[in-house]
Chains A and B, each alone.
Chain A
Amino acid sequence: MPKGLLIDTVRCTGCRGCQSACKQWNLLPGWGEAPSDEYDTSFSPTMTNPPQLNAYTYNHVEFYEIPKDNGEISWHFIHTRCLHCIDPACVSVCPVGALQKFDNGPVVWDQTRCFGCRYCQNACPFDMPKFQWEQAWPKIQKCTFCWNRLEEGMEPACAKTCPPNAIEFGERDELLARAHERIRNNPDKYYDYVYGEHEAGGTSIMYINAVAPEKLGLNTDVKKESYPDYTWEFLSKIPVEIAAIAALLGGTWYFRKKRLEGKASVTSGKEAK
């Protein structure tokens, strides 16, 4: 059964333990070790650190300051990362099959296949795959859903470490039911929307929040359909089109040839007389 993560941003305290745990498990460089100054830690104006997701930071806690009705500011924290779509655009567009979807949920990148075309970066509706721009032998990097931990029966590092249990690991179906139940039981605390239930045809990682998802930087313009269907419409017609063009061209060539030969024999016949 496909696994999932439910991220409850109401519970999140912004401790960034998930960011650290992820770097530890995935052996990602931290401050001062990254290959370029660009990746060094620094604060965004709202105290997000580093300012954005990059090839050396698979998950990332973003801080949002949202004004309340009474004029006070409320602080919201949201853990961002690859959402591991059920039917991922990146997997469908990869020409060499370097991105693969595992049955139990993870979308994983295979370094022995990738040749670095970056079509996945273009196709991903959530802009999640990141590229090592400063490397001569670069990798596409993103959250792996700790597939190697799942294989050993462990939960992902971020979920394991989260002190307020804001990142819950489990079966996707159960998590979805739990999300709806929690919203139903606490209508004053939660905005009634499970982000990821239908986005891009559904994702393994889902969010429930205190405010509308777009206020926390979640892309609500993402279509509800599965993305690979957009190109399948074009690809599925190709075999028929090839056959039609080949028949048309072959036929034209043959009949034009016969016709010109016929003309030629008529003219030469006239000349003979």
Chain B
Amino acid sequence: MNGRNIPLFTKWSVLQILLALGAFGVLIGKLVFGLGAVTNLSDNWPWGLWVAFDVGVYIATAAGGFTLAAVVYIFKIEKFRPLVKPAVLMAALCYTIAGIGILTDLGRSPLIVNPIWMWQHNSIMFEVSWCVMLYLTVLYLEFSPNIFQRFKLQTLHKIQHFVLIPLVIGGIILSFLHQSSLGALFMITPDMHLLWYGSLMGYLFLISAIAMGLSLVVFFAIITARAWKLTLRMDVLSSLGTGIAWVLAVYLGIRFIELLATGNISAFATDEFGLLFFAEVGLFMALPMVLLFTKLRKKTGWLITASSLIIIGVILNRINVLVLSHAPARVDSYFPSITEFLFTFGLIAGAMFVFRLAAKYLPLYSDQLTGLPEAEKETQPEVVPAQ
């Protein structure tokens, strides 16, 4: 009944469980003792590592889900179907940990539901909170066929199939809104470092999230294929690599045109901000983009290298925009506490363990061989999806 290639307990999964338990402990600690006890935040640095990851990184990593859903369900490019189910689950888990992260980071966590009945449509944060709630629902509905198939709930499966296209379109709209609003959160702080400030920051967040989300799909497709002995679909993944390179090209193009048009590029200096900018844009975005445009993307090692670089690059971008670029307008310094790190990595580890559970017990890889020629299917190592 289940994927026999996928072990439940390995040294990695035990580490994941321990980290997730640690994160749970931090959550309890915050609820009991307040934010001051578990973070190094202060009135000078009201947002730190948690916000950078909750609303920055986790949400961006989820972008693979709506992008692949759009490509396969709306544009009907069937080639990428093998990646859709894992990507949607990844997105659902990323949104879940983002929700848990935001819940914990709020001063008054239980009131997280307030935006449902307290409307303030001038606030981007209001829009963000609605997007999180709605898209989280949409993601689990998009993912639900895995559960319906597993437990043979035919009627529910049929209903889900009937509403799939409206769901997917709704999900794409919500994602566009959400990803771009997160960038636009900081249009109201023009005192931040100008290399990261501009009127297009909302749209830039959306585009970089797509690059990040797809890179994460590629990264985990390779890792899980290796670890769980699944068929590695390099044919699909390397085409996706080209797609990521184009997304990054558009991103870097818009970003530099805006920096030049506004003159903000003059804020570039050989200081720590200049170094961060160079690392983010040059080392972790332009370099992997070039790699993915070449034939090197057909080699597993290079593909995973490039996608890892992009993931690091967009994480760095979110940390820069949400935290570090605000340093010029702040007094005192901020460095996250050990509990802040534990919580952040604990959430990621927990999500990875739940992904493993889903891969083992649900038909997550039932489309893994779709589109592979019959002759090749026989020579490939067997995929063992749950029934």
Determine whether the beta carbon of A115 is less than 8 Å from that of B187.
Answer: no
Residue A2 at the chain B interface, CB threshold 8 Å: no
Report how far A126 CA is from B188 CA in the complex, Å.
Answer: 12
Out of A95, A115, A230, A246, which one reaches B107, CB within 8 Å? A115
Number of interface residues of B (CB under 8 A): 59
- Residues of chain B lying within 8 A (CB to CB) of residue A117: 105-107, 125
Chain A residues with CB under 8 Å of chain B are 36, 53-55, 89, 92-98, 113-119, 121-123, 125, 127, 130-138, 140, 221-223, 227-228, 230-235, 238, 241-242, 245-246, 249-250, 252-253, 256-257, 260
- Residues of chain B lying within 8 A (CB to CB) of residue A118: 46-47, 107
Determine whether the beta carbon of A97 is less than 8 Å from that of B34.
Answer: no
Known contacts A122-B47, A256-B76; decide if A93 and B176 are in contact (CB<8 Å): no
Determine whether the beta carbon of A230 is less than 8 Å from that of B126.
Answer: no
Known contacts A123-B189, A242-B173; decide if A131 and B43 are in contact (CB<8 Å): yes
In chain B between 29 and 48, which residues have their CB closer than 8 angstroms to a CB of chain A?
31-37, 41-44, 46-47
Report how far A98 CA is from B185 CA in the complex, Å.
Answer: 18
Report how far A97 CA is from B124 CA in the complex, Å.
Answer: 12
Known contacts A133-B36, A135-B34; decide if A253 and B123 are in contact (CB<8 Å): no
Report how far A245 CA is from B124 CA in the complex, Å.
Answer: 19
Determine whether the beta carbon of B124 is less than 8 Å from that of A260.
Answer: no
Determine whether the beta carbon of B108 is less than 8 Å from that of A250.
Answer: no
Determine whether the beta carbon of A249 is less than 8 Å from that of B124.
Answer: no
Residue B190 at the chain A interface, CB threshold 8 Å: yes
In chain B between 47 and 102, which residues have their CB closer than 8 angstroms to a CB of chain A?
47, 70, 73-76
- Residues of chain B lying within 8 A (CB to CB) of residue A54: 43
Report how far A77 CA is from B31 CA in the complex, Å.
Answer: 40
- Residues of chain A lying within 8 A (CB to CB) of residue B375: none
Report how far A252 CA is from B127 CA in the complex, Å.
Answer: 27
Shortest CB-to-CB span from B202 to chain A, Å, is 5
Residue B115 at the chain A interface, CB threshold 8 Å: yes
Known contacts A253-B73, A256-B76; decide if A134 and B34 are in contact (CB<8 Å): yes
Determine whether the beta carbon of B173 is less than 8 Å from that of A223.
Answer: no
Residue B165 at the chain A interface, CB threshold 8 Å: yes
Chain B residues with CB under 8 Å of chain A are 31-37, 41-44, 46-47, 70, 73-76, 105-109, 111-112, 114-115, 118-129, 165, 169, 172-173, 176-177, 180-181, 184-191, 199, 202, 326, 329
Shortest CB-to-CB span from B174 to chain A, Å, is 10
- Residues of chain A lying within 8 A (CB to CB) of residue B169: 246, 249-250, 253
Determine whether the beta carbon of B187 is less than 8 Å from that of A121.
Answer: no
Report how far A234 CA is from B123 CA in the complex, Å.
Answer: 11
- Residues of chain A lying within 8 A (CB to CB) of residue B33: 134, 136
Residue of A94, A122, A227, A232 with most chain B CB atoms under a 10 A cut-off: A122
Determine whether the beta carbon of A134 is less than 8 Å from that of B37.
Answer: yes
Report how far A115 CA is from B111 CA in the complex, Å.
Answer: 5
- List 7 other contacts, CB 8 Å, given A138-B108, A231-B188, A235-B127: A123-B189, A231-B124, A232-B122, A233-B199, A234-B181, A241-B177, A256-B74
Shortest CB-to-CB span from B286 to chain A, Å, is 27
Closest to B118 in A: A96
Determine whether the beta carbon of B177 is less than 8 Å from that of A238.
Answer: yes
Report how far A234 CA is from B184 CA in the complex, Å.
Answer: 7
Report how far A97 CA is from B73 CA in the complex, Å.
Answer: 39
Shortest CB-to-CB span from B205 to chain A, Å, is 11
Determine whether the beta carbon of A242 is less than 8 Å from that of B119.
Answer: no
Report how far A5 CA is from B1 CA in the complex, Å.
Answer: 74
Determine whether the beta carbon of B124 is less than 8 Å from that of A235.
Answer: yes
Determine whether the beta carbon of B112 is less than 8 Å from that of A115.
Answer: yes
Determine whether the beta carbon of B189 is less than 8 Å from that of A241.
Answer: no
- Residues of chain B lying within 8 A (CB to CB) of residue A245: 172-173, 176
Determine whether the beta carbon of B108 is less than 8 Å from that of A114.
Answer: yes
Determine whether the beta carbon of A228 is less than 8 Å from that of B188.
Answer: yes
Determine whether the beta carbon of B191 is less than 8 Å from that of A221.
Answer: yes
Closest to A125 in B: B191
Determine whether the beta carbon of A234 is less than 8 Å from that of B202.
Answer: yes
Shortest CB-to-CB span from A181 to chain B, Å, is 32
Determine whether the beta carbon of B107 is less than 8 Å from that of A138.
Answer: yes
Determine whether the beta carbon of A119 is less than 8 Å from that of B122.
Answer: no
Shortest CB-to-CB span from A99 to chain B, Å, is 9
Determine whether the beta carbon of B108 is less than 8 Å from that of A93.
Answer: no
Closest to B201 in A: A234
Determine whether the beta carbon of B123 is less than 8 Å from that of A223.
Answer: no
Known contacts A223-B190, A233-B199, A235-B122; decide if A133 and B173 are in contact (CB<8 Å): no
Determine whether the beta carbon of A234 is less than 8 Å from that of B124.
Answer: yes
- Residues of chain B lying within 8 A (CB to CB) of residue A135: 34, 36
- Residues of chain A lying within 8 A (CB to CB) of residue B114: 95-96, 113, 115
Shortest CB-to-CB span from A222 to chain B, Å, is 8
Determine whether the beta carbon of A95 is less than 8 Å from that of B173.
Answer: no
Determine whether the beta carbon of A133 is less than 8 Å from that of B127.
Answer: no
- Residues of chain B lying within 8 A (CB to CB) of residue A121: 43, 46-47
Determine whether the beta carbon of B70 is less than 8 Å from that of A96.
Answer: no
CB<8 Å pairs between A and B, sample of 9 = A54-B43, A93-B124, A94-B120, A95-B114, A96-B118, A96-B120, A133-B34, A137-B108, A241-B177
- Residues of chain B lying within 8 A (CB to CB) of residue A228: 122, 188
Determine whether the beta carbon of A92 is less than 8 Å from that of B70.
Answer: no
Closest to B77 in A: A256
Shortest CB-to-CB span from B344 to chain A, Å, is 18
- Residues of chain B lying within 8 A (CB to CB) of residue A127: 43-44
Determine whether the beta carbon of B177 is less than 8 Å from that of A242.
Answer: yes
Report how far A246 CA is from B111 CA in the complex, Å.
Answer: 32
Determine whether the beta carbon of A93 is less than 8 Å from that of B123.
Answer: yes
Report how far A94 CA is from B75 CA in the complex, Å.
Answer: 38
Report how far A9 CA is from B329 CA in the complex, Å.
Answer: 25
- Residues of chain B lying within 8 A (CB to CB) of residue A230: 187-188, 190
Shortest CB-to-CB span from B132 to chain A, Å, is 11
Shortest CB-to-CB span from B210 to chain A, Å, is 14
Report how far A259 CA is from B32 CA in the complex, Å.
Answer: 59
- Residues of chain A lying within 8 A (CB to CB) of residue B111: 114-116
